[in-house]
Amino acid sequence: MRKKVCLIVGAGQGLGRALAQKFANEGYHLNLVSRTLSGSELALKAAHSAFPGGDHRHVTADATKPEELEKTLAEAVASHGTPEIFIYNPRGGYQLRDPLQISYAEISDTLNLEVVGALASAKAIIPGMLDNKKGTIIFSSATAAFRGSGTNPLYSIGKFGHRGLSQSLAKAYSAKGLHVAHVRLDCTLDVPDIRDWMGDTFEIEETSNVDDVAQSYWWLHQQPRSAWSNELELRPYSENWTF
C-alpha cells in the first residue's frame, strides 16, 4: 500500500507548523522544505508528535532559486514518494515602496519566490500526480492577489502571478485528476512573529488561528471532485473587508 505523503514548501513555525501537525494527525508522512533545518524544527516536531510512527523528513532548499528547488523536490519525490497533497507556503515580505523605486533585483527576487519557485515545484510534483491520476496542490496566498497597491506593490505583483499560475495549472490538469487551489488569506495570522511585531496592540479576535486555517486546508483537500474550489478565502469573523 502506497503511503500518504504531504509535502510542504515553507514549513515554518506559524502556518507551516499547523499544516504539518494537521496532516500528520490525519495519517500523512510529512516532507518539509525550508532554507534551513532550524526553520522547520517546530513543524517537524509537531509532525512527529501528531503521528509518532510517521516517516517525517526535512530537506533544505531555497524557494527563490528555482533550479535548486526543482532538483531538491524531484529527489524528495523519488525517495519519499509522490505526495497526495503539495502545499506551496513560502513567506513573502512586505516592503513599502513607491512603484518607481522598485529595483530590478527586488522584483526578480519577488517573482522568483512567488511565481518561478511555484512553477519549479509544479514541474517536480505534477508528473507523479498525473501518473497517479490524483493529487491536491494548494497555494497559500493573500488579498494582494486581487488588487494592486501604491505603497506595497511588490507583494501584489508577486501574488497576482501566484494566482495566475494557480488558475493555469487548474485549467490544464483538473480534468486529469489534479485539484489545484489558491487560498486567499485575507487576515492577520496569529503567529509568533506577528505577536512580537504588534506587541501590546495584538488582539487575538482580530487574527486567524493557524490551526483553524490548517483545518480549512484539510477540508479543501477532502472536497469531492464534483465540487472542487479553485479559490478559497479565509478571514476572521471580525474582519472588516471590502473586496
Which pLDDT tens digit goes with each residue over 195-209? Answer: 666 666 767 667 778
C-alpha radius of gyration, the chain, whole number:
17
User: Cα angle at 161 between 177 and 213, to 5 degrees?
Assistant: 65
Give the position of cell 501528531.
Answer: 50
pLDDT given at position 242: 65
Centroid of chain to Cα 54: 21
- What is each CA distance from 213 to 97, 180, 217, in whole angstroms? 30, 17, 6
C-alpha cell at 235: 478571514
> What pLDDT score was predicted for residue 230?
96
CA torsion sign for 227, 145, 134, 173 is positive
Averaged confidence pLDDT in the chain: 91
Question: DSSP string spanning 178-212?
Answer: EEEEEEEE-S-EE-HHHHHHHGGG--GGGSEEHHH
pLDDT digits (tens, 9 = 90+) for 2-13: 789 999 999 988
pLDDT value of residue 75: 96
Q: Tell me: the pLDDT tens digits for 89-119?
A: 997 767 888 999 999 999 999 999 999 999 9
Give me the architecture of the 5-232 domain, per CATH.
3-Layer(aba) Sandwich (3.40)
pLDDT band of 170, cuts 50, 70, 90: very high
Reply yes or no on whether the pLDDT at 55 is more than 80. yes
pTM assigned to the model: 0.94
Give CA 115 to chain center in angstroms: 12
**Domain coordinates in residue numbering, the chain:** 5-232
